[in-house]
Structure 1
Amino acid sequence: MLDIFKIFSNDKNSSKNVAKERLKLVLIHDKGNYSPTVLEALKGDILLAIEKYMEVDEEHIEVKMIKTKSQDNSEMVPALVANIPIKRMK
Structure 2
Amino acid sequence: MGTTIRKAGSQEAFRRVDYDYSLAVARLARQHSAQAFALNSATGADPGSRLFYNRVKGDLEEAIGGVGYPSLTIVRPALIGGDRD
Taking structure 2 as the reference length, what is the TM-score of the superposition? 0.28
Mark the structure with the bigger radius of gyration.
1
Q: Greater strand percent: which structure? A: 1
